[in-house]
Amino acid sequence: MPQARMRVFKYIPMKMYGFCQDTSGFEVFFHLAAFHPGPSVEVVHCSTCASAPSCLLTGDAPPPILGEPVEVNYDPHDSGTKAPRASQVSRLVVPTMIVGMVESFDTQRRYGFIKGSNGTSYHLHESEVIDGRLPMAGRQVVFYPGIREGRPRACHIRVCK
């Protein structure tokens, strides 16, 4: 079974599947069950949430993050689909959470921007928000930095209390 280094190209949290892509554009489909997230991560909280029990995140490693490098095992002879199916997708780097402030959020278009504590502006999409809370401008958030189409993207966002 072939093994390749790829990046998470697309991940749909609500449906628990996604695609990995190599530098040539070759894609492999994966279901969350094939994803091996690796070790626990260091939990980061904003100053508001540090003591709020309802906002505590676990140290469990997050689901796939857009743009992260992964090692993919797949069956090249998988038939009946546009992309072969991965039997295993393994994270190569332990992700790091960061704190940010929502700069803007358009409730009609369901997207906005977050200014990370590292000074980078991240694209925010409602589909990446945990617990379905709307990320209003001025609210602090905790998230994993990702990359989509070469641009910074906020993934697995938790809106702080």
Q: What is the CATH number of the domain that holds 23?
A: 2.40.50.140
Domains of the chain: total:
1
Q: Is residue 14 part of a domain?
A: yes
Q: Which of 87, 84, 71, 93 is nearest to 3 (CA)?
A: 71
Residue 80: its pLDDT value, please? 62
Instruction: Find the farthest-apart pair of alpha carbons in the chain and give their distance in angstroms, rounded.
Output: 52
Residue 54: its pLDDT value, please? 47
Q: Is residue 15 part of a domain?
A: yes
Q: List average pLDDT for each run of 10 residues in the chain, which is 161 residues long.
A: 92 91 94 89 64 55 93 81 89 91 94 96 92 87 92 92 76
Residue 161: its pLDDT value, please? 76
Residue 58 β-bridge partners: none
Name residue 31's amino acid: H
> If you search the block for the tokens 């702080």, which residue do you land on?
160
Contacts of 23 (CB under 8 A, 6+ apart): none
Structural domain boundaries, residue 7? 3-40+64-91
Residue 39: its pLDDT value, please? 78
Residue 35 β-bridge partners: 89
Sheet-wide strand order for 27-31: 27-31, 17-21, 3-12, 69-74, 86-91, 35-36
